[in-house]
Amino acid sequence: MKKTFKFTVLPGDGIGPEVMDAALDVLKKACEGEDFELSYTRCDVGGAAIDSCGEALPKSTLEPCAAADAILFGSVGGPKWEHLPANLQPERAALLPLRKIFKLFANVRPGLLYPQLTDASPLKKERIPNGIDIVCIRELTGGIYFGEKKTFKTLEGETAACDTMMYKVGEIERIAEVAAQTAMRRSKKVCSVDKANVLETSVLWRKTVSEFFAKNYPEIELKHLYVDNAAMQLARDPNQFDVIFTENMFGDILSDEMAVVCGSLGMLCSASLGDGSNSLGFKFGLYEPAGGSAPDIAGKGIANPCAQILSAAMMMRYSFGRDDIAVKIESAVRKAVCDNVRTGDIAFGNKPVSTKEMARAVIDRL
Ligand code: NAD
């Protein structure tokens, strides 16, 4: 009997459903004739779920996610729901709880800019003649975003507020493992980013990371950078990095800096990975494009589906253990773009194609 790869599809709002349909068409074609079957349930999330069920993450969406081995996510949010209180709005009430509920502590975001797309980057072409190919690994469920918070009405006569940054050794080691595994699939180079000259959490981070790599991955070349220097180096010469690995807040900022040096949001995918194994013995994960619901172009059929397609490829790699299918999809996207089949966001003088035409071009090159 064939194995079943079970995932939940959450297209969400805006361009989400359009790029999701394109990604599913590519995924199904890429998996044709293989020794497994794809099985997925499609559910509303975010604004679409508020409209259909009255809440952004209803039980009818959460339950199929819990029963699946992965989640393929589109994007949520848009002007229609902005009048709602902040804690009920699509991103805060759907995406953040999903990360928390499924303990998705590791965010893996490839920063890939094909040499043919260097025009899309704000960096000078001569700095990135061969494009960019790096990965950012960000700790996603610890640090200052999740530490104790407090607002004081009066403290020494003034209003004040504080956030707490805390990391435990185990939290650092489990994200170090994701960075190490990523580096082992690439060029065995990791740059760990902290602020160990100022922060106690960073002192612990640096010590733990150094010991972890020395003990478990001596073949990996490990380097440490302070976050201020890392931000500068990323803008100066991104390709000096291969795997950048850091804590939650530093990763939030650096991964967005990386996204901008890599050009269009429409090309960048990401994986948020959990602990332990799914029913297939691989990682449970949520896979989504780096961009949002793009209300300015939603419904026009012109969004770039590549980020969603590449997110589906990451799902094949991390949650289903099929690196070969992931590579097949990634190569087809690269070929299509390099053959100048491009949506408007990356057209640069080429005649822009529609979302469906872009997906067709990828399918033709699988
Ligand atoms: P956005 O990422 O949706 O759009 C920014 C710009 O990038 C827009 O001009 C958009 O047209 C373009 N863009 C994004 N993805 C594209 C694609 N695939 N193809 C072509 N162009 C693309 O950011 P925003 O406008 O700040 O946010 C819009 C909504 O999305 C907001 O409600 C925001 O909260 C939400 N959002 C959701 C997520 C998520 O679901 N993970 C992430 C970011 C923003």
Residue 79, burial from CB neighbour count under 10 angstroms (0-12, 13-18, 19+): exposed
Please report whether residue 352 resides in a domain: yes
CA of 77 to the centre of ligand 1 (A): 9
Please report whether residue 207 resides in a domain: yes
Please report whether residue 219 resides in a domain: yes
- Lookup: tokens for 161: 């507020």
Q: How confident is the model at residue 100 (pLDDT cuts 50, 70, 90)?
A: confident
Residue 119 annotated as catalytic? no
Residues 131 and 242 in one domain: yes
Please report whether residue 253 resides in a domain: no
Residue 195 annotated as catalytic? yes
Q: Quick one: which of 317, 327, 329, 285 has its CA closest to 8?
A: 285
Residues 275 and 202 in one domain: no
Residues 144 and 167 in one domain: yes
Residue 130, burial from CB neighbour count under 10 angstroms (0-12, 13-18, 19+): exposed
Residues 201 and 231 in one domain: yes
Please tell me the distance from the alpha carbon of residue 345 to that of residue 363, in angstroms, as a whole number.
Answer: 20
CATH of the domain at 184: 3.40.718.10
| Per-residue confidence (pLDDT) for residue 335, from 0 to 100 | 97
Residues 135 and 234 in one domain: yes
Domain finish residue from 248, 272, 297: 248
Residues 184 and 274 in one domain: no
Please report whether residue 89 resides in a domain: yes
pLDDT greater than 90 at residue 278 = yes
**Range from 266-270, 274-278, 325-329 that averages highest in pLDDT:** 325-329
CA of 305 to the centre of ligand 1 (A): 13
Residue nearest to atom 8 of ligand 1 (CA): 294
- Lookup: tokens for 230: 């890392």
Q: What is the mean pLDDT of residues 26-43?
A: 97
Domain finish residue from 204, 224, 248: 248
What are the CA-CA distances from residue 36 to residues 28, 195, 314, 321 (Å)? 11, 46, 17, 12
| Per-residue confidence (pLDDT) for residue 324, from 0 to 100 | 97
What is the rounded average pLDDT for all residues in the chain? 95
Q: What is the mean pLDDT of residues 114-120?
A: 90
Residues 228 and 294 in one domain: no
Total number of domains in the chain: 2
Catalytic residue among 69, 195, 287, 345: 195
| Per-residue confidence (pLDDT) for residue 188, from 0 to 100 | 98
| Per-residue confidence (pLDDT) for residue 356, from 0 to 100 | 98
Q: Quick one: which of 295, 27, 249 has its CA closest to 139?
A: 249
- The amino acid present at 222, given as its one-letter code, is L
Please report whether residue 133 resides in a domain: yes
CA of 249 to the centre of ligand 1 (A): 21
Residues 242 and 349 in one domain: no
Q: Quick one: which of 20, 19, 12 has its CA closest to 49?
A: 12
- Show the beta-strand stretches assigned E in the chain: 3-12, 36-42, 71-75, 106-113, 132-139, 149-155, 158-163, 189-194, 221-226, 243-246, 269-273, 285-289
Residue 252 annotated as catalytic? yes
| Per-residue confidence (pLDDT) for residue 86, from 0 to 100 | 83
Residues 92 and 205 in one domain: no
Question: Tell me: the pLDDT tens digits for 236-253?
Answer: 999 999 999 999 999 999
Residue 228 annotated as catalytic? yes
| Per-residue confidence (pLDDT) for residue 144, from 0 to 100 | 93
Is pTM beyond 0.95? Reply is: no
Distance, C-alpha 330 to centroid of its chain: 15
Cα-trace Rg, the chain: 21
Residues 126 and 230 in one domain: yes
Pairing relationship of beta strands 36-42 and 106-113 according to DSSP bridges: unpaired
For residue 53, give the H/E element and its range. helix 47-53
Catalytic residue among 145, 189, 242, 356: 145
**Domain of 240, in residue numbers:** 122-248
- Lookup: tokens for 205: 């981070």
- Lookup: tokens for 310: 């590449």
3-state secondary structure of 150: strand
Q: What is the DSSP letter of 349?
A: T
Question: Tell me: the pLDDT tens digits for 288-346?
Answer: 998 899 999 999 999 999 999 999 999 999 999 999 999 999 999 999 999 999 999 99
Residues 9 and 71 in one domain: yes
For 136, half-sphere exposure in the C-beta direction (CA atoms, 13 angstrom radius) is 32
Catalytic residue among 51, 119, 228, 275: 228
Task: Please enumerate in sequence order all residues whose Cβ is within 8 A of that of 104, keeping only pairs 6 or more positions apart, or say none.
Answer: 98, 140, 141, 272, 273, 274, 284, 285, 286
Residues 241 and 278 in one domain: no
Residue 198, burial from CB neighbour count under 10 angstroms (0-12, 13-18, 19+): exposed
CA of 172 to the centre of ligand 1 (A): 31
Residue 2 annotated as catalytic? no
In contact, 314 and 271? CB cutoff 8 Å? yes
Please report whether residue 202 resides in a domain: yes
Domain finish residue from 197, 214, 248: 248
Please report whether residue 256 resides in a domain: no
pLDDT greater than 80 at residue 276 = no
| Per-residue confidence (pLDDT) for residue 1, from 0 to 100 | 80
- Lookup: tokens for 169: 């050794």
